[in-house]
Amino acid sequence: MPLIRPAARATLRRLREVLAGAGIAALGLYWGLAALVPLAWVGWALVALGAALAAIGVQRMRFARGPGYGPGIVQVDEGQVAYFGPHDGGAVALSELTRLELDRASEPPRWYLHQPGQPVLSIPVTAANAEVLFDRFAALPGMRTERMLAALRGVGKQRVVIWAKEMRRLH
């Protein structure tokens, strides 16, 4: 019999980065306020590190959609995103990506990854392991993470261009 209920375990798992960041920041705050000068500087650095880690954790929580029990599975290997679904699948190289779109009209919403010479790769946002896409998308040159997160929580039912190579020249 497990000590922690499955629902509570899932919530803690989603919050793990935020909780770790808060813990690091709390330790840093304690050292910063209570310790002598050399350790106090380390404490204030830990406060900054903990706050950054917690902020990244909040962004990842906002990116994740559902428990990851959607159709198919996402795999990222050496800059290549692969999706293995029940009806379709494929792979694209992130270095060759020309456009990233989010279609909120489909159920569940889907990412569309465009690469020249390849069929468009469609990935449900609820696919298993889809949360690994956050770091890969955030690393695209000129990507605005807040724009991507705003599109995910948006209410419209249209397809939105999140990132394109042409867009990064405009910013």
- Residue 26 confidence (pLDDT): 95
pLDDT band of residue 37 (cuts 50, 70, 90) is: confident
Peptide bond into 71 cis (omega under 30): no
Q: What are the angstrom distances between the C-alpha of 146 and each of 13, 128, 150, 162, 166?
A: 23, 23, 6, 10, 19
Looking at the predicted structure, is the pLDDT value of residue 17 above 60? Answer: yes
- Position with higher pLDDT, 142 vs 6: 142
C-alpha span between 34 and 11 (Å, rounded):
33
62 pLDDT higher than 80: no
Q: How confident is the model at residue 170 (pLDDT cuts 50, 70, 90)?
A: very low
Q: At residue 68, does pLDDT exceed 60?
A: no
